[in-house]
Structures are given as structure tokens and as C-alpha cells.
Structure 1
Amino acid sequence: MLVSIITPSYNSIEYIDSVYGSICDQSYQNWEWLVTDDFSSDDTFKFLLELSKKDSRVRVFKNKENSGAAISRNNSISQSSGDFIAFIDSDDLWLQNKLKKQIQFMEDNNHDFSFTSYELIDGDGACFNKIVDNHDIQCVSYDDMLRKKATLGCSTVMLRRTAFDDISMPLIRTGQDYGLWLKLLKTGVNAYLISEVLTQYRILPDSISRNKIKKAKRQWQIYREIEKLPLFKSIECFCFYAWRAVFRK
């Protein structure tokens, strides 16, 4: 079974080689890596082109202008041909058995949507000693995700392609992965957790995800504009989101 690995890149020259290394080190080797560069101003695209000449499993594309991660990911997804879709961002890392264990988990249990626990690392790869999505849950539903019962880090997710008619992300600048998870869960499937750290998520000083005010605004926008929830329902879900953002360990 082929796994299509989806990555958006933008000025990622510092970390993109490490990402490729963690993919190459996987114990499961039947994969293709599709990277869409979002009009980088550094040498990211040049590096990826050279890489694709050496490794036929690497397929590289480039946006005509800076367009955001959603358009970049959607382009790679549209060009992919795998039985499974996996995501990894341009500065994150996978542990060696990530793909193998996730495919086995999904095949053994007939799951279409899975995610893993992950740990946070800094720019140098040092651990913050913080693990995310390692709490005692088996799966997450649409209503659970509205209330952010789990984080579902993008670089941890794997999807079975044939289970979904549309795997494209909503065209918003941030939170597009969360918007996709909601869209898929809304079909009635659940996302199943592998409560083992198989991914390392890099936290950088200029990371969009570190700005709590922007994250809160994005969350509200998704409730009201993407999911079109009624006002009271949006307030209810936002309260759950805010409580978990403050008190989740």
C-alpha cells in the first residue's frame, strides 16, 4: 500500500532536509513525498528540486505566488496517488516506526482516520518534556472536535483515501487542518488515537500557532464561517475550547 506524504514548504531550508531524513528513516518504505513550495524566498525550492532528481519518490511543485498552506497542501493532495494520505509539516519529524505502526493500526481495526500522540521540540530538536494527545481517549467524533477534546496535530494524521470523497482543506490562512478534520468527522467517521509518541512537533518563536489571540480568532471564525454553527452553539464550543486551552496539561 502506497502512502502519499503531504508537505507545504515556505522558507524551510533550515529544517526541510531533516524532514526528508525522518521520512527516509521510516521502517515502512512504500511512500511518495509530495511537497508544494509556497513561493519561498530562500533556497527551499532549489533544494527540493535537486532532491527530486536524486530520489524519484520525491515530487515537487511550486505556487505561482505565496498562497498559504491550504492551497499548497491541496495541490499536493490533488497530485497524489496513495492508498493512504499522511501529513508532515516542513519542520516536524517522525519517529522511525510512525508509518508502519499507523498503517498496521488502521488495517487491523478497519479505521479510516487516525492520529498519534506527539512531543514538542524546539528549533534545535531539544524536547520540552511536553506530550500532546496522550490522554485517555480512544477516538474523537465531530462534536468532540468542535470542543477540542483532542488537538490532532497535522503531522500525526493519516487518512484512508477511499473513505472520503473530498480531502481538500478549506481555504483559510490558518487552522485549515482543523477545518479539514471537522469536515471529515462530519461524515460520521471517528478519528482514532494511537497513544504513543510517533511524531515530534517543532515550536519556533515566530510560529503562528504560538499566538493565542490569533488562534482564538481563528477558532471563532471556523465555528461561524466554516461550520456555520448557530451563535449559542458557537459560544458553547468556544467555552470548551478556551477551558481546554488554559487547563489541559
Structure 2
Amino acid sequence: MLDISVIIPVYNAGRFLEKAVQSAVHFEEVKEIILVEDKSTDNSLEICKKLADGNSKIKLFQHPDQENHGAGATRNLGIEKATGSFITFLDADDYYLPNRFNAEKEIFEDPKIDGVFSAIGVEYLTEKGKQEYLTKFKDSPLTTVNYPAEGEEVFRGLLSLTPKTFGTFFHLNALTVRKSAIDKHNLRFNVNLRVHQDSDFNIKLAYHCYLKSGIIDQPVAIRGIHDDNRITKIVQYSPQYNQRQYIYWKSLYDWASSQNIPEEYKKRVYLSYKSFDLSQKKGLIKYLNIIVEGLKNPDILKTKYRFNYYR
């Protein structure tokens, strides 16, 4: 039977935390739930203590200095504290569904599989949050990939290098991975990214580890949409969006440059990184840089971010 550590980073999630924990604690496969509290300003710490006192499966940790370090560092601490053979993640304002580990029970019988990912759904908790989400993501009932895949096809799909559209994202709430695989490749979240730590982690994970899709046509977890979801507040191709995308792709570019990976993959990451680098420039300098880069790398004009240059 699987023995799973569920890592829940906690920051100002007092309204939702108990539901998240209760959705995970009852699974026979769940060995422990690791709450990592990140200096919340609401009553989250008190709720964490109450939950941990009430169930031996639930363990509470804070950063050594008890300060706020962000989601990336908080998940990293959870990985360090995990004792299960498998690791999953759950955001404190989300929750698992009863089928959460159905695919894992069968797929992980194959020892070559390092990780399994499935689909998640959405629940609108506030009207404002709903409108912000629909403005950015339209009416997407599932966050999922478009077809079953495994191995290198997953990595290629996340970089948009497959002949048909794979989908550029799967959510941490629906990822289960062997802890030994994470430790073998020293995979951790980039603490310098305030957003997109999950996408950055997933792409690196997909390169180093053998991932396989699980249940992709129905949700295994639910993401709560409310007023405080940070990712929905960023307007696409706004200066803030461009800056955060630049930092994200710069992280991947630095990683790709340090790895002995095929040139095709390095180039794909570079083009995305460079497109957002160019978007930071202004005026005549911006257009001169676009011309120079276009002459050196004509493929940059084919990236899905190409129209970003002119905004």
C-alpha cells in the first residue's frame, strides 16, 4: 500500500484549512499530513495547532525563525520533513475528492513511474473571485492535459513541443511523486519565485523524472476560487504579468543552461525567456532589440508570446 505525505503550506487560510485537512486525513494511503505555517496574520496557526493536537497523522511545522518565507520555501520545508515514500501537495484553500489516489494505486505498481498527475476542478467561493477567474481562464471546469502521456512526452508537452496541444500545466494538488525521485535529483521549489513556483517545479520534475498521466477527464481535487487568489489578479501582458513571466522563464533558462539537456529544449526555454526579456524594454531600444534578436533567432517570432512584444 502507498504511504503518502501530504504537504500543506499554510498562510492566512483559516477559513478553509480544516476542510482541506479533513479531505486528506481519512485516506488509508495518507501516512501523514504536514502543515507548514508561514507566519499567517489570521488565526491559521491556532487552527493548525488544534488540528495537530486532535490527530496523530497531522504534524505542524514552522520555519526556524518563525518568519514568512513564501510558498516555495514553505513547500521545501515540508519536503524536508516528509517521512512517507510518496509526496503530494494540497493548497490550504483547496481539497481532495474521494478518487484522489485511485490512479496511483495501480500506476505505481510499475517501479519506473516516478510521478502521477491528474485533473483538478474549480469551486467558486466568492462572486468577485469567480469573475476574476473567468476573465483570465474563461469557463474551464478542469485544469488538465489534453491527452494521456508519460515519460519524455510530458516534458515536451509542457514546453509546447508536441505535434498536438498537450496543455501547459497540471496542478500540484493532483501530483503524487516518489520522494526518492525528488531527493535523487535534488528537486526543490525556487524560493525566488513568488508566483509560478509550481510550473517551474513541474517542468524540472518532468525532465528529471518519469511522469505518467492518471485521471485526466474528471477532477481528483478542487481548487477554491475566492477574492485572494493572487494568480487571477494579474492582467495578461500587463507590466506586472510580463515581469513575473520574465522571472519565471529566467529561472528555467538558468536551470536549462546548467543542465546537459538536448539543444532543442534549451532553445525552446531560451526563446520564451528572451521574449519576456524583450517585453521589459521600452521605446526605440525595445524595437531595435526585437530586430536584432529576430535576425539571430527567427523562431522567436513563432513563440506563443510573440504578440507580447508590441503591447
- Shorter-chain TM-score bucket reads 0.7 to 0.9
Structure 1: distance between partners of 2:301 and 2:189? 21
Q: Secondary structure at the match of 1:150?
A: coil
Q: Secondary structure at the match of 2:251?
A: helix
Structure 1: distance between partners of 2:171 and 2:305? 15
Structure 2: distance between partners of 1:161 and 1:131? 27
User: By how many angstroms is 1:226 displaced?
Assistant: 3.5
Taking structure 1 as the reference length, the TM-score comes to: 0.84
8 Å Cα contact 1:111/1:192 also seen in 2: no
Higher helix share: 2
Structure 2: distance between partners of 1:237 and 1:113? 34
Runs of at least 5 residues in structure 2 that lack an aligned partner in the other structure: 131-138, 161-165, 255-265, 276-299
> Structure 1 residues 123, 197: closer, same or farther in 2, change over 3 A?
same
Higher strand share: 1
Q: Secondary structure at the match of 1:141?
A: helix
Deviation sequence 1:104-123 (CA, Å, 0-9, x none): 33325842111111111112
> Structure 1 residues 233, 49: closer, same or farther in 2, change over 3 A?
closer
CA RMSD of aligned residues (A): 2.9
User: By how many angstroms is 1:103 displaced?
Assistant: 3.4
User: By how many angstroms is 1:144 displaced?
Assistant: 2.1
Q: Secondary structure at the match of 1:201?
A: strand
Q: Which residue of 2 aligns with 1:203?
A: 225
> Structure 1 residues 37, 150: closer, same or farther in 2, change over 3 A?
same
Identity fraction in percent: 20
Q: Secondary structure at the match of 1:178?
A: helix
User: By how many angstroms is 1:55 displaced?
Assistant: 0.6
- For residue 232 of structure 1, what is the amino acid of its counterpart? L
User: By how many angstroms is 1:191 displaced?
Assistant: 4.4
Structure 2: distance between partners of 1:238 and 1:216? 18
| Aligned positions of 1:67-78 closer than 5 A | 67-78=69-80
- For residue 162 of structure 1, what is the amino acid of its counterpart? S
Q: Which residue of 2 aligns with 1:247?
A: none
8 Å Cα contact 1:185/1:191 also seen in 2: no
- For residue 17 of structure 1, what is the amino acid of its counterpart? E
Q: Which residue of 2 aligns with 1:239?
A: 303
2:172 is the alignment partner of 1:154: yes
User: By how many angstroms is 1:190 displaced?
Assistant: 3.5
Structure 2: distance between partners of 1:25 and 1:242? 47
> Structure 1 residues 188, 104: closer, same or farther in 2, change over 3 A?
closer
Q: Which residue of 2 aligns with 1:225?
A: 251
Q: Higher relative contact order by CA 8 Å / sep ≥ 6: 1 or 2?
A: 1
Deviation sequence 1:151-199 (CA, Å, 0-9, x none): 1111111101222322311112111111111222222534424213111
- For residue 42 of structure 2, what is the amino acid of its counterpart? D
Taking structure 2 as the reference length, the TM-score comes to: 0.69
User: By how many angstroms is 1:221 displaced?
Assistant: 2.0
8 Å Cα contact 1:118/1:131 also seen in 2: yes
Which of 134, 142, 147 is 2:155 aligned to? 142
Q: Which residue of 1 aligns with 2:133?
A: none
Deviation sequence 1:49-74 (CA, Å, 0-9, x none): 12111111111112321110011111
> Structure 1 residues 75, 239: closer, same or farther in 2, change over 3 A?
same
